[in-house]
Structure 1
Amino acid sequence: MRGLLALVAAVVAVAVSSTMAEAGPKWAIVVHGGAGVIERKDLTPEQDKAYRAAMARVTEAGAAVLRKGGSALDAIEAAIRFMEDDPLFNAGRGAVFAADGRNELDSSIMDGRTLAAGAVADVTRTRHPISLARAVMEHSPHVFLVGDGADAFAKSRGLEQVDPSFFFTERRWRSLVRELEEQQLPIPPRPPGAPGASEARAALAHDEGKHGTVGVVALDEHGDIAAGTSTGGTTAKRWGRVGDSPVIGAGTYASNAACAVSATGTGEYFIRLTVARTICALVQYKGMGLQAAADEVIQKELTAMQGDGGVIAIAPDGQMAWSFNTSGMYRARLADGQPLVVGIYKDDP
Structure 2
Amino acid sequence: MPPFSIAIHGGAGTILPEQMSASLQSAIEHDLEVAVKAGYQVLTQGGLSVDAVVAAVKVLEDSPHFNAGKGSVLTHKEMVEMDACIMNGNSEAGAVACVRHIKNPIALAYDVMQQSQHVLLMGDGAEEFAFQHGHIFTEQDYFFTDRRYEQLMAIKDSNSVALSEANYPDDDKHGTVGAVALDQYGNLAAATSTGGITNKKYGRVGDSPIIGAGTFAENGNVAISAAGVGEFFLRKAVSADIAARMRYLGENVQTACEAVIQGELKEMGGEGGVIAVDCQGEIHFALNSIGMYRASVDKSGQLNVKIYAEKT
* TM-score normalised according to structure 1 size: 0.85
1:58 is aligned with what amino acid?
A: A
1:12 equivalent in structure 2: none
1:281 is aligned with what amino acid?
A: A
1:253 is aligned with what amino acid?
A: F
Q: In 2, distance between residues paired with 1:347 and 1:184?
A: 29
Q: In 2, distance between residues paired with 1:84 and 1:304?
A: 31
Match of 1:323 among 282, 286, 296: 286
Asked whether the equivalents of residues 253 and 276 of structure 1 are also in contact (C-alpha less than 8 Å), the reply is yes
Asked whether the equivalents of residues 83 and 195 of structure 2 are also in contact (C-alpha less than 8 Å), the reply is yes
- Moved beyond 4 Å, runs of 4+: 182-185
1:169-184 to structure 2, matched below 5 A, reads 169-183=145-159
**Alignment of 1:344 onto 2:300:** no
SS of residue paired to 1:347: helix
1:102 equivalent in structure 2: 79
Which structure shows the higher helix fraction? 1
2:60 equivalent in structure 1: 83
The verdict on how the C-alpha distance between 1:117 and 1:184 changes in structure 2, with shifts beyond 3 A counting, is closer
**Alignment of 1:166 onto 2:142:** yes
Distance apart, 1:184 and its partner CA: 9.1
SS of residue paired to 2:172: coil
Q: 1:135-164 CA deviation, whole Å, 9 max, x = no partner?
A: 111100000000011011011110232112
Asked whether the equivalents of residues 89 and 205 of structure 1 are also in contact (C-alpha less than 8 Å), the reply is no
1:35 equivalent in structure 2: 12
Distance apart, 1:208 and its partner CA: 3.6
1:1-349 to structure 2, matched below 5 A, reads 26-112=3-89, 114-183=90-159, 206-209=169-172, 211-349=174-312
Q: 1:32-65 CA deviation, whole Å, 9 max, x = no partner?
A: 0000111211211111111111111111010011
SS of residue paired to 2:306: strand
SS of residue paired to 2:53: helix
Distance apart, 1:77 and its partner CA: 0.6
Q: 1:250-307 CA deviation, whole Å, 9 max, x = no partner?
A: 0000001320000001000000000001000101110001011000000112111111
1:192 equivalent in structure 2: none
CA RMSD of aligned residues (A): 1.7
2:148 is aligned with what amino acid?
A: R
2:164 equivalent in structure 1: none
Unaligned runs of 5+ in 2: 162-166
Which structure shows the higher strand fraction? 2
Asked whether the equivalents of residues 212 and 264 of structure 1 are also in contact (C-alpha less than 8 Å), the reply is yes
Asked whether the equivalents of residues 17 and 169 of structure 2 are also in contact (C-alpha less than 8 Å), the reply is no
Asked whether the equivalents of residues 92 and 105 of structure 1 are also in contact (C-alpha less than 8 Å), the reply is yes
2:138 is aligned with what amino acid?
A: V
Asked whether the equivalents of residues 87 and 205 of structure 1 are also in contact (C-alpha less than 8 Å), the reply is no
1:38 is aligned with what amino acid?
A: I
Distance apart, 1:337 and its partner CA: 2.4
1:282 is aligned with what amino acid?
A: R
Unaligned runs of 5+ in 1: 1-19, 186-203
Distance apart, 1:210 and its partner CA: 6.0
2:130 is aligned with what amino acid?
A: A
The verdict on how the C-alpha distance between 1:69 and 1:205 changes in structure 2, with shifts beyond 3 A counting, is farther
Aligned residues: 307
Q: In 1, distance between residues paired with 2:174 and 2:305?
A: 21
Asked whether the equivalents of residues 62 and 79 of structure 1 are also in contact (C-alpha less than 8 Å), the reply is yes
